[in-house]
Structure 1
């Protein structure tokens, strides 16, 4: 399954970069967030591949969900797809947007891939094994190395959202004390913690499960964890929530095992 995820992420990433180079119109979804041809074409590639390879596993994908297309009964196991996380970065001609594919089982993101096609950074995770993957200019995998979270450094390195920072996030950063701050877009924030390039990713703004599942899977495979503010692991498959939409996440803190500030 992980091999299929990797292949589809590379194929989708190639298409995203085609649109990035040629340019495209930017539309607005009902929630006022941007969507482009790259989002739609990437999602088509990923969903076609997943449904052909695993016809019995339901898919939840951002653009389909935005259009109201979600299986009534997801069951215990399903895919979460964000075909272009960081659309604002994409539109603004920055480089840290990603393609994301994850498998969720019993509320846990078990397998995931995160591919940043503009920079070539590629991460994968399955239980007990996380990797950074080297990709050449032809979108072929040419190398792999294992990654894992690090013990907390002094000062901690905190990675935060470039486009979605909030006063709550700023307050949390101040509460940690002296810390180095890295600002980056998309699900790469999880991967920087997973690959020992950062220690903590606090998110006190809105996210959806497709935004976080793949990066969270990589982080957990690397020995880290994503927890809600009450200390519980961030769960997936949240529907019929009393105070929020289906698949919406609460605030959370993602970090390496040995760097878990409260």
Structure 2
């Protein structure tokens, strides 16, 4: 993003990624079928939909009118995995991608210009996929945090090593970003103003055949009724991988994995 764009964004009262640097700022689903994806998540999470600027295969999911997620029905067209991916706010997508690659990560897509910003799809040293976003935010960040995923969690082989990788890319320990990182028990926890926005835990296996136990970022959506979401997922072609009173791990009808978490656990 150039300085003119940043100034314009501030004058209009909209936030850019500069304001929440280093924090998760968006989640996006790569799917195969727009209509089927809309129907599934409308039934399970109660979302509404509007077109995205990028064209027909893309949609923006709304929760009570607030943009909360993006859908890109391009998995078959671009030969990409069906999966949820978190995006982190950065000042420069090109710099973030370079930092990731310098530290042993890889770039799958980009950086490329996607108005109103610039993005890259990356993978860390253990293969967990994540994105970076530079530019205007899709939603007011505070409103998104209220309606957003409760948090995102990285399942990886070594939480300490992963925290160093991501911390160096997003400058978590430098005081430059909007988040603080701490070690809490067996996890690394990223907080903004006391609220959890990301967790990193050890345990995933690098060469595991099951994607559920390979290193990956898991998106946790905050919901009022976990059991009702699990029932709706099964009724609409998805599956329930695990279920307890406060949390369920689900797969949608296309195979993308996500978690629904009781809203009170999101802090």
TM-based fold match above 0.5 = no
TM-score w.r.t. length of structure 1: 0.30
Structure with more of its chain in strand, by fraction: 2
Higher relative contact order (CA 8 A, sep 6+): 2
